[in-house]
Amino acid sequence: MTEAQLLTVKINIAKELLASQLSKDKVRSLMNFLRYYVRLENQEAVDKFERAVEAITQQNTTMGIEQFLLERAKKEGIEQGIEQGMREKNLAFTQMLLQETSFTVEQIARLVGVPVSFVEEVKKKSV
C-alpha cells in the first residue's frame, strides 16, 4: 500500500469513527491508535491527516486537548532523552580528557562545552 493510499484509508476510518455511535472514550482511543500506531512516514502526509481530522471534528475541544497533551508528553520525552544523551556524552568525554591528557580543568570545560564546576565534579568522582 502506498503512502497516499494509507493516508486515504486513515482519513476514511477517522470519518467513520467520528460519525459512529460509539462512546467518546472509544472514539478517542481508536483515534489515538489510528494517529500513533498506523504510521505515515512522510511528514506532509501526517500533516494532511491532522488537517483532515480537524476539518472533520471542526476542532473538537476534548480531542484537541488530549492530542495536545499526548504531543507535549512525547516532545518532553524526546527532549529529556536528548538532554540525558548529551550529559552522558559530555561525562564520557570529560572523563577521557581527565584520564588521557594533561589539560587543565578550565581547558577541558572549554573543549567539552560545560561549566568548570561540571569538570571538577567529574574529577572528584574519578579519584
Three cell numbers written together for 36:
500513533
* 105 lies in some domain: yes
**pLDDT averaged over the chain?**
84
| Residue 64: per-residue pLDDT | 61
Q: If pLDDT is split at 50, 70 and 90, which confidence band does 122 have?
A: very high
- 91 lies in which domain range? 77-127
- Over residues 50-74, the pLDDT tens digits come to 888 888 777 454 556 667 677 778 8
| Among 83, 84, 122, CA closest to 103 | 122
* 15 lies in some domain: yes
- pLDDT exceeds 80 at position 121: yes
Q: If pLDDT is split at 50, 70 and 90, which confidence band does 108 have?
A: very high
Q: What is the pTM of this model?
A: 0.44
In a shared domain, residues 86 and 37: no
In a shared domain, residues 54 and 18: yes
Number of structural domains the chain divides into: 2
